[in-house]
Amino acid sequence: MNKALNKWFRQIHRWIAVPTALLIPAAVIIKLVGSPETVALWEQWDKLPSILMLFMAITGSYLYLLPYLVKERRRNKLSHT
């Protein structure tokens, strides 16, 4: 558990959140009201929101676990002193 790594996970989570938040509603709108041509064009990019969500889930899970990992580490350190 390294401070630079924690910072990077948070930064990745924060920056990927922007395209994810834009793309998912856009994808839903295209599928609901898009013309057949737009839908056909979108189909080529359809996997992108899932890939972004995968990154969000991985980095988010790490951020979720972080406080518990820190606590565990602190507890182990104290018990050795």
Binding residues (CB under 6 A) for ligand HEM: these are 10, 13-14, 17, 20-21, 53, 56-57, 60-61, 63-64
Cβ proximity to ligand HEM, 36 vs 64, nearer residue: 64
Sign of CA dihedral 49, 53, 59, 60: positive
Q: Which is nearer to ligand HEM, 9 or 39 (CB)?
A: 9
Closest contact distance (angstroms) between CB of 66 and ligand HEM is 7
Residue 12 CA, chain-centre distance (Å), reads 8
CB of 57 to ligand HEM, least distance (A): 4
Cβ-closest residue to ligand HEM?
60
Q: Which two tokens stand for residue 47?
A: 């996997």
User: CA-CA distance, 10 to 75, in Å (whole number)?
Assistant: 24
- Inter-residue contact 49 to 26 (CB < 8 Å): no
Q: Are 50 and 23 in contact (CB under 8 A)?
A: no
Question: Smaller CB distance to ligand HEM: residue 21 or 69?
Answer: 21
